[in-house]
Structure 1
Amino acid sequence: MKKIAFYGKGGIGKSTTAAHVSAAFSQMGRRVCQIGCDPKNDSTRLLLGRIAPSTVLDVERVKKGTQLTLGDLVHMGWNGIRCIEAGGPDPGVGCAGRGINVALERLKALHAFDDVDVVLYDVLGDVVCGGFAVPIREGYASEIYIVSSGELMSLYAANNIAKGVCRFAARGEVKLGGIIGNGRDVLHEEELLTAFAARLGTQLIAYIPRSRAVHEAEIHRQTLIAYAPDAEQTQCYVQLAKDIDRNEHFAVPTPMAFEELEDLVEQYGD
């Protein structure tokens, strides 16, 4: 079973990327489960065609003290993809990372992953929080991919995530599989991301150019794979899933000092 986690700065396109990769894997005949590890509860929206009607924490609150089943937590999405949202507290109330811990413990107890081929975790990029580090710290995910644009703060977040991966890699099997470039039309963006990945000791496994087609599909609450299967941009996501499937380049990353990162960005920004 492939155990994949996508990390990256908030708003960088992790959920969009994750949903498209899940859809592509399902088209390859794989049994896929996508788990949204974000209190916003929006990771699986494009697969379900709506916001998930309930999260693991929602069900825990309602059925507290009663027997839960896997069916209480799973929503069936496009092409049979299992969709699960961890959930979390209301904004400003409690620890956002708690939902991930509770959700993954509950799913493990219910043997949620016994009959799937691919589990994909869509995780917030704040690896400082213990909750958000759970997928890599506890070994739920073994293949980490960082989604980043060529913008400085996105690269800064990616570099910090690499530090977290480096820390936890010493404890188990987790490794960095590569950087997924999500284009924002930054000058020399693909070249910058390629150089950034090399400095981390990994690869730019894909560069997804910016496309209005993705936005149009999202308005209709679908992935491009479902909405426009013949679109050029669709093939970028299909190829990304194939490259992840056969990827053998896994590494313990070598993060940079912030000053080094600034120098690198400046080289490609002139």
Structure 2
Amino acid sequence: MPKKIKQIAIYGKGGIGKSTTTSNLTAALSTQGYKVMQFGCDPKSDSTNTLRGGTYIPTVLDTLREKSAVNAHDVIFKGFNGVYCVEAGGPAPGVGCAGRGIITAVELFKQQRIFEELELDFVIYDVLGDVVCGGFAVPIREGIAEHVFTVSSADFMAVYAANNLFKGIQKYSNSGGALLGGVIANSINQPYSKEIIDDFVEKTNTQVIQYVPRSVTVTQSELQGKTTIEAAPNSEQAKIYKSLAQKIAEHTDSKVPSPMGVAELKEWASRWGDQLLAMETGLITSNAAGI
């Protein structure tokens, strides 16, 4: 019997630290003895850069534009600690659907049974989560990913994108779509940030998998073209990513979230805005800000 491959999709608003988190998760899983492939699904094609010394790799779509037929091995590149790196790529600027690379790349790999051939333990899809359009929804809609996690800070637009993702998961949950594992809370350095995220996951019937603080160690590592796991393996930040990797490796129970409606989300955000203003002016303390 072929072994079970755990396929995971990491979504998040652009600029929220999704690829940073994904690459450190991938690197950490590899150091724990797993065979991992990171599948970059952002048209910018930079998901796997820090796994390969800051270098870009040819994308699936670019390669298909040059050749009529592509062997999947031509678009798989080795990275840190033997991690397999793939970038789906996107269309030429101003032409076509940005999610097309995901659809094409996933179909190519399925046809050639690459995951089974490489005997992978994990495939980690790094997916842009600002808009869950047809292409970007493929890992959810087609049930390709077994579990979905979203990276979100306490900023409203990040929460808004996460809530939209929850709507997509809910929509496809009855037809074999992927389910939600939880939220990876990123850039959580202030008590109020944790309180906002905790309140959001409670309202939407999900959970926080890991709190990840903003750290200069991450910036230093990325300036070297490396993950924190590679550049600073003994740092506190690396310990947090390793803890995240262990939790995701052990995770089995994903479920359907309960996203807020538009009016409810706006009202929720407005209440938190009032609370933060009251904290700023000293009317209340952070630990009294629960809503």
TM category (shorter chain) comes to over 0.9
Matches within 5 A, 1:115-264: 115-172=119-176, 174-183=178-187, 185=189, 188-264=192-268
Secondary structure of the 2:54 match is coil
Residue-by-residue CA offset, 1:166-193 (whole Å, 9 max, x unaligned)? 1111111511000000116566011211
CA contact 1:56–1:73 (8 Å) conserved in 2: yes
Paired letter, 2:137: A
Which one has the largest radius of gyration? 2
Matches within 5 A, 1:45-84: 45-64=49-68, 66=69, 68-84=70-86
CA contact 2:188–2:214 (8 Å) conserved in 1: yes
CA contact 2:152–2:184 (8 Å) conserved in 1: yes
Match of 1:44 among 37, 48, 52: 48
Normalised to the residue count of structure 2, the TM-score between the two structures is 0.88
* CA–CA separation in structure 2 for the residues paired with 1:184 and 1:209: 5
Secondary structure of the 2:143 match is coil
The gaps in structure 1 that reach 5 residues or longer are none
Distance 1:185 1:264, change over 3 A: farther
Secondary structure of the 1:29 match is coil
4+ residue segments displaced more than 6 Å: none
**Count of aligned residue pairs for this structure pair:** 268
Alpha-carbon shift at residue 248 of structure 1 (Å): 3.5
Secondary structure of the 1:188 match is helix
Matches within 5 A, 1:28-43: 28-43=32-47
Residue-by-residue CA offset, 1:126-176 (whole Å, 9 max, x unaligned)? 444101111111121010001100001110111001000111111115110
Paired letter, 1:71: H
Match of 2:90 among 88, 91, 97: 88
CA contact 1:41–1:51 (8 Å) conserved in 2: no
* CA–CA separation in structure 1 for the residues paired with 2:246 and 2:267: 33
Normalised to the residue count of structure 1, the TM-score between the two structures is 0.95
